Structure 1
Amino acid sequence: MIRVSGVCSGKSHPGKLHREENFPVASRLIHPRNRGPILAFYRFVRAADDIADDPNLARDKKLRLLDSLERGLTGSRPASPEAEPLRISLAERGLSPRHALDLIEAFRIDVCKTRYRDWSELMGYCTLSAMPVGRFVLDVHGEARDTWPASDALCAALQIIDHLQDCAKDYRTLDRVYLPVNALSAFGVGVEALGAPRASPELRACLTDLGHRTALLVQDSANLTTLVADARLSLEVAAIRRLALTLLDRLKRRDPLSESVHLGKAGFALTAAAGVAQGLFARAVAGNPARLLRDGR
């Protein structure tokens, strides 16, 4: 049995994983029958993330550990405590491991790649690092695949928001820069600007421009709330969209090199609640009112 629990990027703490993100992970809005598989997926992904982001592990060691996680999930090696719950959940639901395997490939990219040439290359990374998360959640709920494009846009936006608010930390601790190099160059700055105590006006302008592009992705997901059949999941989506737009607004006003962009506990709860209210209204207008308290769909 291979264990990776000792690997730590400093992000997680056992038992609190789903409470530490910018966006809800299997919140109480999700029906209990679907929370287990989603949390199993999340813990598997977090284990892989901790491997890729551990500053004390050599590249080859990281890749070997990621390979072991993958083999544990597919059953080609003895089970691991990180992979086994997800493997069992997939088997019980008759779901493919494809989405989890795509994420493992994204973490391999993280280990080996530290710069992105342009927006297109960054979006290519998001097809592996972000979009599979939404697709997995949709599959768990039995949603139609015509929900995927809107979900892909939202998940890519969430990933890029993380990149924007953590740009200094990623550069300082891992020499990893997700901000497209040509975007930085367009504003007359290089990646070394991310190591400064405060963002220069030029870097702030670049971050604002990337925030605008990210907001367009959130806009492309606007119909996801009403496309999703499951009412509980629909409201979770609405909460996530509201949180994403709020964080993008904070990124316009705050310097991620010297200030926290994350929402506090109260701000997170109030913003999510406002998103839920918007979601209820949208579904009512669309003739698809939420019935979550009655039957979960």
Structure 2
Amino acid sequence: MTLERRRATWAIYVWCRRTDELVDGPNASRIAPTALDRWEARLEDLFQGRPFDMMDAALADTVAKFPVDIQPFKDMIEGMRMDLTKSRYKNFDELYLYCYYVAGTVGLLSVPVMGIAPESQAPTESVYNAALALGIANQLTNILRDVGEE
């Protein structure tokens, strides 16, 4: 990857980690749903070119340079909201939706930055579908890995 793409990938990764830390980090027990509302408002500001801090500025730069859509970011925040209220899923459809929110979104955020090879014959939609499937598969693997300790 070019330096610009590596930096953009890092900026997305940092935002995702910071989002996850809101519900899984050391202060998670003190996080209220309103904190996620503030985080989402901050995301919207960032997309309007008004970053809050230097890490937000890195993502704002990414958003300016690559065709990254805000919806997967918002969807990830929705997954964090689910983490605050739900720990069990009654069927695979519910689990799949959770996996989409917290990990499938990462795949969708990565494609605009990583790009699609110019010589690729794959339709753009199939590339996004594959990235989505990879994110969901990674989350299902994480869940299976943690079954023993939880």
Which residue among 107, 132, 136 is the counterpart of 1:156?
A: 136
Contact in 2 for aligned 1:52/1:111 (Cα 8 Å): yes
Contact in 1 for aligned 2:73/2:105 (Cα 8 Å): yes
- SS for the counterpart of 1:116 is coil
Cα deviation for residue 102 of structure 1 reads 1.3
Do structure 1's residue 101 and structure 2's residue 74 form an aligned pair?
yes
- SS for the counterpart of 1:146 is helix
Distance 1:91 1:118 in 2: 39
- 1:16-62 Cα distance to aligned partner (Å, 9 max, x none): xxxxxxxxxxxxxx332211111111111101111111365446x34
Contact in 2 for aligned 1:127/1:156 (Cα 8 Å): yes
Distance 1:84 1:111 in 2: 27
Contact in 1 for aligned 2:23/2:29 (Cα 8 Å): no
Closer/same/farther in 2, CA of residues 78 and 67 from structure 1, 3 Å limit:
farther
Do structure 1's residue 63 and structure 2's residue 33 form an aligned pair?
yes
- 1:138-178 Cα distance to aligned partner (Å, 9 max, x none): 11133323212222222111111111112344x3xxxxxxx
Equivalent residues in 2 for 1:169-208, closer than 5 Å? 169=149, 171=150
Which residue among 143, 146, 150 is the counterpart of 1:166?
A: 146
Contact in 2 for aligned 1:69/1:80 (Cα 8 Å): no
Distance 1:70 1:81 in 2: 17
- SS for the counterpart of 1:95 is coil
Cα deviation for residue 134 of structure 1 reads 1.0
Aligned to 2:125: 145
- In angstroms, what is the RMSD of aligned CA positions? 2.3
- What is the percentage of aligned positions where both structures have the same residue? 29
Contact in 2 for aligned 1:72/1:80 (Cα 8 Å): no
Aligned to 1:110: 83
Contact in 1 for aligned 2:12/2:59 (Cα 8 Å): yes
- 1:104-149 Cα distance to aligned partner (Å, 9 max, x none): 1111111111111122211111221111111111111333232122
Q: Which structure is larger by alpha-carbon Rg, 1 or 2?
A: 1
* Structure in which a larger fraction of residues adopt helix: 2
User: Structure 2: which amino acid aligns with 1:70?
Assistant: E
Contact in 2 for aligned 1:66/1:108 (Cα 8 Å): yes
User: Structure 2: which amino acid aligns with 1:114?
Assistant: S
User: Structure 2: which amino acid aligns with 1:150?
Assistant: A
Which structure has more RCO (C-alpha within 8 Å, separation ≥ 6)? 2
With the length of structure 2 as denominator, give the TM-score of the two structures.
0.79
Do structure 1's residue 36 and structure 2's residue 16 form an aligned pair?
no
With the length of structure 1 as denominator, give the TM-score of the two structures.
0.43
Contact in 2 for aligned 1:73/1:84 (Cα 8 Å): no
- SS for the counterpart of 1:83 is helix
- SS for the counterpart of 2:88 is coil
Contact in 2 for aligned 1:73/1:79 (Cα 8 Å): no
Distance 2:22 2:43 in 1: 16
Cα deviation for residue 66 of structure 1 reads 2.2
Cα deviation for residue 91 of structure 1 reads 1.9
Cα deviation for residue 78 of structure 1 reads 6.3
